[in-house]
Amino acid sequence: MKFERNQGIFELMTAWVSENIDPLNIKMVLCTGDLVEQNEMVVADNINGNQPSKHQWEAISKAFEKLDGKVPYILAAGNHDFGYKNIEHRKSNYDQYFPADRNWASAKLLKVVGKNFENHPTLENAAFEFISPHDRKFLFLNLEFAPRNAIVDWAKEVADQAEFKDHTVALLTHSYLNAKNEHIEKENYPITDGNYGQALWEKLVQPSRNIQLTFSGHIGGVNDFKAHVGFRTDENTAGKKVSQMVFNAQAMGGGWQGNGGDGWLRILEFLPDGKTVKVRTFSPFFAISPSTWHLSWSTEAFNEFSFQLD
């Protein structure tokens, strides 16, 4: 969103999703965060972007309009979605552009809403119930960047509710795994009350009896896809597998001042056996032209694989 010339690529991605809701039976869209590059920058520096923050938020909002009322989407808030440039504090414009009642397809799945740093209920911390076409019950927990201790406690309470004891809980948060498939232990940001990957694993995911999926983003390396992805499987206290995935592509397509990720997205196909998930990595940006179609699938082992749910 930080360069005007790149904003159309994200619109192309959401337009592709919109056109394929029926052909691909798309039931849910997740975004792993950093919706904008700077949350509250009034004057762009023309180096790390030529768009002030207001224009960045307007652009990401416009792109998601293509999905409003058509398919549920859950958007994680990343470190760049807070503070001025990069979480100097925890205030965000997230709720202004993505309030709870914006997309009715998401709103009808909303079960519980947590409170942001200013003690207001927003979708920065929220739980959504989804019943799959295979009648498997899912609960998607969306948590703010480096969730505060109070939010970790809130998430534990929600996941432990009797109403959700038979649900497969999926955690969505911005920072969790690195490209070495390790839980992130610590990061150097000004915030003090925050839990990164290792702490989230120890305090929330591993002790849980029903969290079986995690999705995150945040990491990257210049034009190096392997630096943007990760996957690992561990067991929680109930002995169930927890499949943990990180996917981000923002420094593909020219690095940090490039086109923002070459339009790459992930397609997760949940097979009729009720447990197998096929993962593929696709770029509508490359697929739109016959001259670049051959580049539109990333078939490396780290971008095309399958895993099993318990």
Q: What pLDDT does residue 49 have?
A: 96
Domain 4-308 fold: Purple Acid Phosphatase; chain A, domain 2 (3.60.21)
Rounded Cα distance, 279 and 309, in Å: 13
pLDDT digits (tens, 9 = 90+) for 190-248: 999 999 999 999 999 999 999 999 999 999 999 999 999 999 999 999 999 999 999 99
Q: Phi/psi zone of residue 255: left (φ > 0), alpha (ψ -120 to 50 degrees), beta? A: left
Q: What pLDDT does residue 186 have?
A: 93
Domain boundaries, the chain: 4-308
Q: Which helix (DSSP H) or strand (DSSP E) does residue 142 occupy?
A: strand 137-142
Rounded Cα distance, 152 and 304, in Å: 32
Instruction: Output the furthest CA–CA distance in the chain (Å, rounded).
Output: 54
- What value does the mean pLDDT of the chain take? 97
The rounded Cα 63 to chain-centroid distance in angstroms is: 16
pLDDT digits (tens, 9 = 90+) for 32-54: 999 999 999 999 999 999 999 99
Q: What pLDDT does residue 269 have?
A: 98
Closest C-alpha to 246, from 76, 113, 16: 76
Q: Identify the bridge partners of residue 127 per DSSP, sorted by sequence position.
A: 112, 141
